[in-house]
């Protein structure tokens, strides 16, 4: 079977080379490279802050956007509350009024002679319906949330990225520049 795999005889030997000793490398980066990188990062961050300022001018900060949304929610709650019926009007279910009572006998319908129009009974309604109470509570809560959000939006400043400055380097005795700590 050894002919299929190109194997030889019975005395196969495995040779493992000696391991190499670990080596340490040190890269010396010129001070100018650090200064150039800091300058480039500073320009990028300054431009980012300028664009962020433009975005804040157009849409507002996160707190301002939240206050706008709370204002919309308050308006929705106020609209719903104002759409509910007010006063002591009959708000109960009323059937379709008919001029006369209609009675059936099998397949025919008849009315009694001299029958007069039927009066619709009215039900007593509570002073304030449960729907109106819930709508007013929802509006009150929405108003409180809106006022709180406006207060937070006024007190929250715009946030910006701090631009990178020149790192500042100290020179040691071997003329290698290290960042100041």
Predicted confidence pLDDT, tens digits, the chain (181 residues): 444 555 556 667 778 888 888 888 877 778 788 888 888 999 999 999 999 999 999 999 999 999 999 999 999 999 999 988 776 666 566 666 767 666 666 666 565 666 555 554 555 445 578 888 999 999 999 999 999 999 999 999 999 888 887 766 555 544 445 555 5
The answer to whether 123 and 90 are in contact (CB under 8 A) is yes
Length of the chain: 181
The model carries a pTM of: 0.50
| H or E, element range at 173 | none
Query: How big is the chain by its Cα radius of gyration, in Å?
Result: 43
Q: What are the backbone dihedrals phi and psi of residue 171, each rounded to the nearest 5 degrees, phi first?
A: -100, 130
Distance between CA atoms of residues 144 and 137, nearest Å: 11
């Amino acid at each position: 079977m050894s002919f299929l795999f190109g194997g030889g005889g019975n005395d196969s030997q495995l040779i493992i080379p000696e391991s190499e000793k670990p080596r340490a490398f040190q890269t010396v980066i010129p001070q100018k490279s650090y200064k150039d990188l800091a300058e480039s990062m500073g320009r990028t961050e300054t431009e980012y802050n300028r664009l962020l300022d433009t975005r804040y001018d157009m849409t507002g900060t996160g707190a301002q956007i939240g206050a706008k949304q709370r204002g919309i929610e308050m308006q929705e709650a106020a609209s719903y509350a104002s759409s509910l019926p007010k006063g002591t009007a009959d708000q109960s279910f009323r059937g379709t009024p008919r001029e006369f009572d209609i009675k059936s006998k099998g397949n025919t319908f008849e009315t009694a002679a001299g029958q007069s129009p039927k009066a619709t009974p009215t039900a007593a309604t509570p002073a304030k319906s449960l729907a109106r109470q819930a709508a007013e509570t929802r509006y009150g809560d929405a108003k409180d949330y809106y006022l709180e959000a406006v207060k937070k939006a006024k007190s929250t400043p715009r946030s910006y990225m701090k631009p990178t400055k020149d790192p500042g380097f100290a020179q040691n005795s071997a003329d290698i520049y290290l960042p100041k700590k």
